Chains A and B, each alone.
Chain A
Amino acid sequence: MKFLSSFLALTLAFVSAASVQAQPSADDIIARSLETFYYAGDDQRTRATMRLVNPQGKERRRVMTLLRKDLGGEGEQRYYIYFHEPADVKGTTFMVWKYPAREDDRWIFIPAIKLVRRIAADDKRSSFVGSDFTYEDVSGREVGDESHSLLDETDLDGRPVYRIESVPKAKVDYVRRLSWIDRERWVPLKEEYYDGRGELLRTFTADAVREVDGHWTVTQRTMRDAQSGHHTEVVYDEVGYGIGLEADLFSERYLQRPPRQWIR
């Protein structure tokens, strides 16, 4: 009897696993996509150039190094950002302790007055350093923030994708988001955000995807504001995973004195 029940359980497990593989739920797809996009590896170092382009083509540039470390498997993360350019804000650093179930803790260091200041974290949908990306776009959202449904499986520029519709549960600036998620690599290749009148607000595109240290990585991306015509392009100049960042790097000490080993 015992053998039989184990056998049954095993068979059922197989069957359900097979069905999951055939048709993962929308939540599973989004979860795996967030995992790939925001949690790849135990840590990550990126040097990125951000171009902010207004509708007249006038350009501003931000060059920064981003360090990330995941703590445990519950989604707790630490972020550290150092600004190299423009010259007037060079040396400004920014640190986030991100928690899965509550507001983040955030600090900024302003080198001109040697001031470390804790900042309010209630602005996930606010612009990150004046760009078209929000804070949330940079450090990620949670699966449960939106209700997801799988629309279809299709192709986008030659890549097989899932097309997912997501509706935020709380009131935010968009009411509907469509995403095209690579069925093999799990990175989002495109996202569209719509407002209550069905008007397109913003479009995200992954312009270059590369495998780095075994992780599929969007190394070039654009966020386009459909209403204003402003857009922001981010290019990863350097990126690496599993480089051995220590947790104590994400502290006031290094906010004030950037770790030269990583900030180059």
Chain B
Amino acid sequence: MSRQTPFTLRHALAGVLAWGVGLPAGAAQAPPLEIPEIHGFLQAHGAARLGGVDCDPGTACDWPFNEQRLQLKAEGGGFEGTLGYAGKIDLLHDAALGESEVDIRELYADYNAERYTVRAGRQVITWGVADLLFINDTFPKDWTAFYGGLPLEYLKRGSDAVRLDLFPDFADVQLVLADFRPDRLPDRERFVLPGQAIQAGLDEPSGLEVGLRVSRYVGSWDGALYLSRTHYRAPALRQVGAGWQGGFPRLNAVGASLSGPLGSGVLSLEAGYYDSVDDRDGDDPAIENSQTRLLAGYSRQIGADTTLGVQGYVEWMHDHAAYRRTLPAGYSERDELRGVATLRLTRFEMHQTLRLSLFAFWGISEGDGYLIPSARYAFSDALWGEVGANLIVGDRSGQFGVLGDNDNVYMTLRYAF
């Protein structure tokens, strides 16, 4: 469990650095390594729970989020751009849970050659063309931060990975080798969730995960193919004797995306097949069944400084009959087809110092929804503040609705330097 500096990171870093030394010509004139540029921000974020909710004694009830963080960001390079490096470290004081921690968000080194690049270390990787729905982006995410209204960058967790990008003439090829990192899911320290709390030991997978992305321009369209040999990042729990045991089942994903101009807007299409390796027959109720996921999205400007984006998304559960047959009594049944529609409306005012935004998920098949209205104002280049809300509506058994006791209003203030 305690693999803060995995072997991929250390070895690849050393390898990349050793490789770069003595390589480039013209390094004699300029100092080989630049002085790093240091930037960062101070940020305060708080979210207050709405509604009179009875919380468990161990749950941060009124203020599930109340944190202050200092982010320090250093980046630089050397040898005429052949080498690069970046680090982003958060010093976090979490007043809601009374904890402090150092969070290494990113820490990587780059080697840039003519026909390929290598990035090794903790890094954020984003794939796919969907907006806040994920098909081929199987990389780790932090849903706790997302439902708490933290800035969007906190939805993405870094992967401890070596990423190789090749640039042959016919396409861009990206190969990612990564250690497993789980998603951070809403837990009972901050969230009110139905059912009983379960204490389970979790076995994290060892061994490298592999991702491959091949992309190219097809006329005015961006096309990409994706392959992932990975694991589900949410644990599958099963009862073992009197206790519970959890693991992260194997997942293979294969998919494609396409985005390009349509009319005066942008059309995005994405599809993926999730092969649930450990439950191919679909009769293990603890493990997700295989799925096909499809998405179509369209975004366009609808007025001055105003953009509207809509998406339609379907998740088709395979072997639904086997799932139904083996579902333990008392569990609410999921539909074979789960449909979700989303809407994003963004408007800038006052020379783009004020951004008004609404993001809405509508669970068409499950009859629930999730609304995120927000307003962000830039007081200056350095200081912005945002107020917003996370509002869950509808059926409590839906995937959004299950968080129904966690409506909140939030406020973020950030001073960047």
Q: Which residues of A contact B (CB under 8 A)?
A: 52, 54, 58, 60-61, 85-88, 90, 97, 103, 105, 112-116, 118-123, 125-127, 129-131, 173, 230, 251-253, 257, 259-261
- Whether the Cβ atoms of B84 and A126 lie closer than 8 Å is no
CB neighbours (8 Å) of A118 from chain B are: 129, 222, 259-260, 266, 268
B124-173 at interface with A (beta carbon < 8 Å)? 124-126, 129, 151-153, 155-156, 165, 167, 172
Contact A103/B381 with A113-B124, A113-B155, A118-B259 known, Cβ cut-off 8 Å: no
Are B351's CB and A230's CB within 8 A?
A: yes
List 10 A-B pairs, minimum CB-CB distance, nearest first. A260-B81, A130-B352, A122-B264, A86-B381, A112-B153, A88-B416, A130-B351, A114-B124, A87-B416, A87-B39
**Size range of the interface on B?**
35 or more
Q: Do A120 and B307 form a contact, CB below 8 Å, given A60-B381, A103-B264, A113-B156?
A: yes
On chain B, the residues within 8 Å of A115 by CB distance are 126
Of the listed stretches B196-204, B237-245, B283-291, B296-304, name the one at the interface; the rest are far from the partner chain.
B296-304
User: CB distance A260 to B382 under 8 Å?
Assistant: no
B414 contacts the other chain (CB 8 A): yes
A98 to B112, CA, bound (A): 28
> Looking at the complex, which one of B84, B117, B380 makes contact with A260 (CB distance below 8 Å)?
B84
Which residues 257-308 in B have Cβ within 8 Å of A in the complex? Answer: 259-261, 264-266, 268, 299-301, 304-305, 307
Bound-state Cα–Cα, A158 to B125, Å: 56
User: B381 touching A88 by the CB < 8 A rule?
Assistant: yes
- B326 contacts chain A at the CB level, 8 A cutoff: no
Contact check, A127 vs B124: say whether CB atoms are below 8 A apart: no
B117 touches A257 (CB 8 A): yes
Contact B351 A257 (CB under 8 A): no
A122, B384: Cβ atoms under 8 Å?
no
Verify B416–A105 contact, CB threshold 8 A. no
Q: Is B77 an interface residue (CB 8 A)?
A: yes
Q: Is there an interface contact between B77 and A260, defined as CB atoms closer than 8 Å?
A: yes
A122 x B265 contact (CB < 8 A)? yes
- One of A86, A123, A131, A259 near B81 (C-beta < 8 A): A259
Judging by beta carbons under 8 Å apart, are B261 and A103 in contact?
A: yes
Task: Please determine whether B172 and A88 come into contact, CB atoms closer than 8 angstroms.
Answer: no
B206 contacts partner chain A, Cβ-Cβ < 8 Å: no
Could you tell me the dominant secondary structure of chain A's interface residues? loop
Cα A122 to Cα B302 in complex, Å, equals 9
B100 / chain A contacts, CB cutoff of 8 Å: none
* Residue contact A86 to B382, C-beta cutoff 8 Å: yes
Give the CA-CA distance A120 to B266 in the complex, in Å.
5
**B165-195 Cβ-contact flags toward A at 8 Å (1 or 0):** 1010000100000000000000000000000
Contact partner, A123, options B77, B301, B353, Cβ 8 Å: B301
Contact present for B301 and A253 (CB under 8 Å): no
Which of chain A's residues have a CB closer than 8 A to the CB of B352?
Answer: 127, 129-130
A144 to chain B, nearest CB (A): 19
CA distance A82 to B259 in the complex (A): 23
Interface flags for B85-117 (1: CB within 8 Å of A; 0: not) read: 000000000000000000000000010100001
With a cutoff of 8 Å between Cβ atoms, the chain B residues found around residue A259 in the complex are: 81
Residues of chain A within 8 A (CB-CB) of B304 are 123, 125-126, 173
Give min CB distance, A18 to chain B, whole Å: 44
Please give the residue numbers on chain B whose beta carbons come within 8 Å of chain A beta carbons, in ascending order: 39-41, 77, 80-81, 84, 110, 112, 117, 123-126, 129, 151-153, 155-156, 165, 167, 172, 215, 220, 222, 259-261, 264-266, 268, 299-301, 304-305, 307, 348, 351-353, 378, 380-382, 384, 414, 416-417
Residues of B contacting A54 in the complex (Cβ-Cβ under 8 angstroms):
351
B351 contacts A113, CB within 8 Å? no
Q: A61-B381, A86-B382, A125-B304 are in contact. Are A253 and B165 (CB under 8 A)?
A: yes
Residues of B within 8 A of A112 (CB): 151-153
Q: Would you call A88 and B41 a contact (CB within 8 A)?
A: yes
Query: What is the minimal beta-carbon distance from B183 to any residue of chain A, in angstroms?
Result: 16
Contacts of B123 in A (CB 8 A): 114
Q: In the docked arrangement, what's the CA distance between A253 and B165, Å?
A: 9
Most buried by B among A85, A126, A127: A126
B353 A130 Cβ-Cβ under 8 A: yes
Contact B301 A130 (CB under 8 A): no
Is A120 in contact with B299, judged by CB distance below 8 angstroms?
A: yes
Tell me, in angstroms, the Cα distance from A90 to B416 when the chains sit together: 11
B124 to chain A, nearest CB (A): 5
User: Once the chains are docked, how many angstroms separate the CA of A97 from the CA of B155?
Assistant: 30
Chain B residues near A173: list those with CB within 8 A: 304
A118-B260, A120-B307 known; A126 vs B124 contact (CB < 8 Å) = no
A64 to B348, CA, bound (A): 21
CB <8 Å contact, B152 and A113 = yes
Structural contact, B80 and A261, CB atoms closer than 8 A: yes
Instruction: Determine if B265 and A120 form an interchain contact, defined as CB atoms under 8 angstroms apart.
Output: yes
Chain B residue numbers with a CB within 8 Å of A253 are 117, 165, 167, 172
A54 and chain B: residue at smallest CB distance: B351
**7 A-B pairs, CB-CB below 8 angstroms?**
A54-B351, A88-B41, A113-B152, A118-B129, A118-B268, A120-B266, A253-B117
Task: Evaluate contact between B414 and A88: CB separation under 8 angstroms.
Answer: yes
How far in angstroms is the closest Cβ of chain A from B195? 32
